Every structure is written in structure tokens, then in C-alpha cells.
Amino acid sequence: MKGRKRCLIYISYLVVLVSLISISGCSLTQEIGVPQWTGSGFLRKEFLEYKRIAILPFEGDPTGEVSDTFHRSFHERFPQMTLAGRKQVLERFQEQDVYYGRLDKATRSEIGKVFDVQAVVMGSVYYPSILRWLLQVIIVDTETDTVLGRSYVEINFMGAEGMKKGCDLAVQQLIVK
């Protein structure tokens, strides 16, 4: 009788555990690599008239993989724009001087003159857990310091494919409003 009672208790615990998992919204059938939240973004209409843009190194991306992947995704969406990339900027400026949040108006203006660009794309990457990462991107005019666009995405998948999807989603979130 004791063994049967113990078995019933274990089964009860199991039922409660499965119920809690299903109530919490965890999806065991969610497609791997598809983010639960794609985020949001906007893009000012006047940005579409710009011809030359610099994509700066992203803070939190020491290898430059995310910055370079975003560069490719951005170029696919805006092929009419000429892009100066992270490597070109780093030949002239110190990396920490061009990070999002540290880049002052004078340096933005200097980047605009040196590379003959009308706007800069700055970004930051944050990894709150092993499989989850956040990408925030902001586009700023080099002369007026006007924010022309912003994108924020959350990706629940790592690796090259996850990075590509995250950067694609960040670019897709740049929607004219």
C-alpha cells in the first residue's frame, strides 16, 4: 500500500509540473531560431533619399561579426546606398570612440566629412543568456544629429543562422512611419 501511495504522489507531482509548464507559455513545438519577439523600429521617410551611409562597429560585438552581418543585410535592403563599413571606420578612428552611446556629435560630424557620408548606423549587442541576444540599431544624420531610424530586436537563437536572422529582422524593422 505504501508503494502505491508513493507512486500516486509522484504522478501528482508530474501532472502539476506539466501543467505549470503549459500554463507558463513555454512552447515545445516552437520552431528553432524563430524569435519570440522581433521588436520594433521606425525609419524617417527622408532617409530614403540618402546616398552614403557609414555602419560603425557595434558595441558588444568584439569580433565584428554582428556588425558585418548587419552591413550585408542592410545593403540587401538598401542597394542604392553606398556603405562605408566597420573596417574602414576603424582604420581612422579608435573603436571605443565610435561605439553607440559614446559617439559624440563632433565625432559623428568628422566621420561624415572623412567618409563623405550623410548618416551613421550605430548599434549595440547584448547577450543576457547563452541562447538569447538583443540588437539595437540607431541611424543618425551626421550634420543635424537627427535620429533617422531605430530598430530593436530580440533573438532566441545563437550561431551564424541566428545572427543572420537577427540582423535581417533588425533591418526589416526599419519601417517608414
CATH of the domain at 121: 3.40.50.10610
Residue 170 C-alpha cell reads as 533588425
In a domain? residue 1: no
Q: How far apart are CA 151 and CA 41, in angstroms?
A: 4
In a domain? residue 21: no
In a domain? residue 14: no
The reported pTM is 0.76
Domain extent, residue 150, equals 35-172
- Domains held by the chain: number: 1
In a domain? residue 27: no
In a domain? residue 125: yes
Q: What's the mean pLDDT in 91-114?
A: 84
Which segment of 16-25, 34-43, 60-69, 140-149 scores lowest on mean pLDDT?
16-25
Strand partners, 157: none
Would you give the end-to-end CA distance of the chain in angstroms? 69
Do the Cβ atoms of 161 and 32 come closer than 8 Å?
A: no
In a domain? residue 46: yes
In a domain? residue 94: yes
| pLDDT per residue as tens digits for the range 25-36 | 444 334 444 445
In a domain? residue 104: yes
